[in-house]
Structure 1
Amino acid sequence: MALPVETFFLQQDAQGTLQSQIQQMIAQGILSGRFQRGEKLPSTRKLALHLGVSRITVTIAYTELLANDYLSSRGRSGYYVSENAPSPPNFTPGPDMQDSVDWTRAIGQRFSGGVTPRKPQDWSQYRYPFVYGQADKSLFDHANWRLCALQALGQRDFDSMTNDYYDQDDPQLIEFIARHTLPRRGITAAPEQILITLGAQNALWLTAQVLLTQRRRAALEDPCYHALRDILIQSRCHVTPVRVDRDGLPPEAIPPDTDVIFTTPSHQCPTNATMPMSRRRALLERAREIDAIIVEDDYEFETSFLRAPSPALKSLDTDGRVIYVGSFSKSLFPGLRLGYLVGSEPFIREARALRASVLRHPPGHIQRTASYFLSLGHYDALVRRMGNALHERRAKMEEAIAQNGLQIAGQGAHGGSSFWMRAPEEIDTKILARQLRARGVLIEPGHSFFGGEDQPQNFYRLGYSSIPATRIADGLQALASEISIMSKAGYIPA
């Protein structure tokens, strides 16, 4: 790799001859790690012209660095950072690089320190990754996604790739969602009632910002999607956790002063409970009674491989009080960060304006690539392939869970890609997760899904979207073995 000449400059207050300044500039670049071994330096003519010095001055500086083994020469090819050049030392900033700003006073609002845990970046290196929401590269249709990406990058789609939509979206993607995706959930929506987002989490953030203020109250499920709790806390609204039961969110437990209700009726997160139709109607009636808006997160309906999913809550809405959140991240891949909001036009108008002030719109070429992948039938084929694989893995999970005496606390009636588990009361699953890592097993402790001070410590989630079916039995055996060891050792919740 050639180092661009623009990265070379002389300090205005530097001391010494021009030759020594150039030597020092290059040596410091190597010692700081900016210039890597094997990288090519600009030619003496080019650097001299850029710095405004004579070529002989640069040549002499290069010759001195060559003699000191900072540089090497490769015939007529030019000068390179030597393979024997000194390695960058461990660098500790000096007094002139210390931050003198009192950030505890300067920061007006904090967004760090939430409850949302981070999955290990190297999760795929573990032999038994029971992690939720990660893609299995063996199932993804790489070839057709690449072809769709190439098509989206073609001259015919130049405008969709390069235009600034400002606050609009790719009309081709909007049309597919309106005509194909939403009808599968029983939802009818016009283009002006649909907004593309950077995934479901971005959709939930936009919704919270538009609907909630410091004086308003939000009711959310407990346990719930931990990132949603972070979003609501950051919005500074009043938050009321409502403990779910086997059928999901109980409408009668929602406080009468609630302004916005957040729920996952088709596949409760994380318990996997499916809300029956009678309760869905009761929830709509409760929202109508207290004049509240409902935000429906339908995050995993595509993984309903056991039987067809129940109609979306939005499909039962007759007065426009349900806002629907959908996402392609679970069915395609998390890194895509592509979701959508469906709601009444006045709400979508405000969400669109807010999105435009933050990020304008999701990249046009990503929207068009996804549009081709969806409209050409590759998406449906992928969902079927994923459904077959998840069905097999679920059967293996159920068999191994039973054989090892593990306890299921919740599983999806229509399918899904995870089990909500309960360990013995004396087990703290945060400690369990740390112990299991040494055995190549990854699980997700459940404490962060709960709100309040008194969080249960013995729940955990097992995802099976990214672990091969052949490894499930051994992984769950190792999990059961560790639980047994911890129980005998007398672990108590921390």
Structure 2
Amino acid sequence: MAISVETFFLVPDAQGTLQAQIQQMIAQGILSGRLHRGEKLPSSRRLATHLGVSRITVTLAYTELLANDYLTSRGRSGYYVSDNAPVPPVYEPTAPAEDRVDWPRAIVKTFSGGDTLDKPRDWARYRYPFIYGQADPTLFDHANWRLCGMRALGAKDFSSLTADYFDQDDPLLVEFIARHTLPRRGIAARPSEILITMGAQNALWLTAQVLLNARRQAAVEDPCYYALRDLLTQTRCTMVPISVDSNGLPPEAIPDRTDVIFCTPSHQSPTTATMPMDRRKALLDRARELNALIVEDDYEFELSFLGSPSPSLKSLDREGRVIYVGSFSKSLFPGLRLGYLVGSAAFIREARALRAQVLRHPPGHMQRSAAYFLSLGHYDAQIRRMSKALHDRRRTLEESVARHGLTVAGRGAYGGSSLWMRAPAGVDTTALAERLRTQSVLIEPGAPFFAGPDRPRDFYRLGYSSIQRKSIDAGVAQIAAALSGYWT
């Protein structure tokens, strides 16, 4: 492997002759492990031109390193790092210079320290991973996804792989969403009203940035998707949490002067409550009274294995007040990071411009691969396969929960991939989760989903998309045992 000439540079205030500086620079690279045995150095002409020195200076430095067995010469091929060079087995970057920046003063806005849950990256090695939002590899159609990815790499699709769309998206993916995905939710939209995003969270961020500032007020569900509160905080808007009930967000509780309402009517996050039709109409009426907008996050609508999903709020909207957020992350796999925004053309235009400034567009190859996977019918086949598997796991989990005497606080009326649970009074599920983790059981504590300092500590979520059906009962038994011995 050839070493790039760009990795070499001279320190302006270094001591010694140019020849000595070049010699020291290469020797230190070898001694630190940055330059590996057998790697080819730049030619003396290229390195001299790059460093702005004479070629003879570089040649003399190479000759000295050759004599000391740091380098070896291979005829007319050039100079290489010698096999006898004292190279350590692992490259350890040199320690950076002392950091003297006053970072608390330099940083004007912080983004860390939010409520994002700690989900272990090695969750798959746990025996009982009741973790939400991760993909079960046994349910995914790897073979056809690979074929679609290879097709997207073909010469015919070269432009979709290499082109800079700037602020546009793959027309095949947009067309599929407009003609197939949205009509299933009763939504009609033109391409100018659809924007591809890096998942639902990116869609929510774009929406918040376009619609909110320090002078505006946003109503959010309580509990809600924990990352939503974090990204709304960035806008410095006034955030008003609205306690949800068994039917989701109560419209009458939305205060005056509210500008934007964030909700998950089809599958409330995290309680899984489904908003009935009369309340959906009441929510639209309340938004009209306030002259407010509604942001509808319609995650998991595809996983409605217990019955047909209720109509989306966007499908009932006749005034353009609803901005719709969809995602393929839950139905395909989280790492795909593809979602979409649907709204009036004026809103999408601004969201598109903001996206272009931040990340241009989601990678064209991923968009085209997804478009093929969707349009060739593989997506629908996968949804049917996933829905059957999740239905079986859901039934097993509910039976096990009932058998072990655990309390369900919320279960989706149409399906989904989790149950919202409540522990006995006095149990801190954050501490419970830590204890269970040592026993190879993963649950999600519920406190981060709630707003305010006095959050309920006794809720938790059990996801069943990532755990095999055969492991569910033993895992629930572990949870029940931990709860019964919580105070010991």
Contact 2:30 2:85 in 1 (8 A): no
User: Per the alignment, in what secondary structure is the counterpart of residue 303 of structure 1?
Assistant: coil
1:169-248 residue pairs with structure 2 within 5 A? 169-248=169-248
Residue equivalent to 1:425: 425
Does residue 58 in structure 1 map to residue 56 in structure 2? no
The 1:31/1:466 distance shift into structure 2, 3 A limit, reads farther
Q: Hey, what does 1:293 align to over in structure 2? A: 293
Q: For residue 40 of structure 1, what is the amino acid of its counterpart?
A: E
Rounded Cα–Cα distance in structure 2 between residues aligned with 1:341 and 1:203: 6
User: 2:25 matched to which residue of 1?
Assistant: 25
Please report how far the alpha carbon of residue 200 of structure 1 lies from its aligned counterpart in structure 2 after TM superposition: 0.5
Distance 1:371 1:152 in 2: 9
TM-score between the two structures when normalised by the length of structure 2 = 0.92
Shift of 1:92: 8.1
> Does the CA-based 8 Å contact 1:40-1:81 persist in structure 2?
no
| Residue number in structure 2 paired with 1:346 | 346
Question: Partner letter of residue 207 of structure 2?
Answer: T
Deviation (angstroms), 1:62: 3.5
Question: In structure 2, what is the Cα distance between the partners aligned to 1:84 and 1:460?
Answer: 55
* 1:326 aligned residue: 326
C-alpha contact (below 8 Å) 2:33/2:88 kept by paired residues? no
Counterpart in 1 of 2:460?
460
With 465-474 and 5-14 compared, the bigger mean Cα shift is at 5-14
Once the two structures are superposed, what CA deviation does each residue of 1:284-322 show, in whole Å capped at 9, x if it has no partner? Answer: 111112211111000110111111111101111111111
Would the alpha carbon gap of residues 82 and 238 (structure 1) be closer, same or farther in structure 2, given more than 3 Å must change? farther
Amino acid at match of 2:346: P
Residues 2 and 39 in structure 1, CA contact (< 8 A), matched pair in contact too? no
SS in 1 for 2:139: coil
**Could you tell me which residue of structure 2 aligns to residue 42 of structure 1?**
41
* TM-score for the superposition, normalised by structure 1: 0.91
Cα distance in 2, alignment partners of residues 369 and 10 from structure 1: 45
Task: Check whether the contact 1:19–1:60 (CA below 8 A) recurs between aligned residues.
Answer: no
| DSSP 3-state at the match of 1:302 | coil
> Paired residue for 1:387?
387
Q: CA–CA distance in 2 between the matches of 1:73 and 1:392?
A: 67
Q: Does the residue aligned with 1:200 lie in a helix, a strand or coil? A: helix
Q: Is the 8 A contact 1:30 1:88 kept in 2?
A: no
> Residues 9, 46 of structure 1: CA spacing in aligned structure 2 closer, same or farther, 3 A cutoff?
same
- State how many pairs are aligned: 481
Q: Relative to structure 2, which stretch is displaced further, 5-14 or 169-178?
A: 5-14
Contact 1:19 1:61 in 2 (8 A): no
After superposition, the C-alpha distances for 1:386-426 in whole angstroms (9 at most, x for unaligned) are: 11111111122112212222111111111101111111122
Classify the secondary structure of the residue corresponding to 2:420: strand
Q: C-alpha displacement at 1:78, in angstroms?
A: 5.1
Residue range with higher mean Cα deviation, 372-381 or 114-123: 114-123
Distance 1:13 1:291, change over 3 A: closer
Change (3 A) 1:89 1:287: closer
Once the two structures are TM-superposed, the CA of residue 43 in structure 1 deviates from its matched residue by 7.3
Counterpart mapping for 1:128-143 below 5 A: 128-143=128-143
The Cα shift of 1:465 comes to: 0.9
Task: Extract unaligned runs of 5+ from structure 1.
Answer: 490-494
Whole-Å Cα distance in 2 between the matches of residues 369 and 194 of structure 1?
18
Where in structure 2 are there 5+ consecutive unaligned residues? Answer: none
- Look up the equivalent residue of 1:60 and give its one-letter code: E
> In 2 relative to 1, CA 120–39 (structure 1 residues): closer, same or farther, beyond 3 Å?
farther
Change (3 A) 1:83 1:300: farther
Structure-2 change in CA distance of 1:257 and 1:10 (3 Å): closer
Letter in 1 for 2:185: R
Cα 1:9/1:443, change in 2 over 3 Å: same
| Cα distance in 1, alignment partners of residues 371 and 296 from structure 2 | 24
Contact 1:264 1:296 in 2 (8 A): yes
Mapped to 2, the partners of 1:102 and 1:369 lie a distance apart of 46
Aligned equivalents of 1:119, 1:477: Cα separation in 2 = 22
C-alpha deviation, 1:73, in angstroms: 9.6
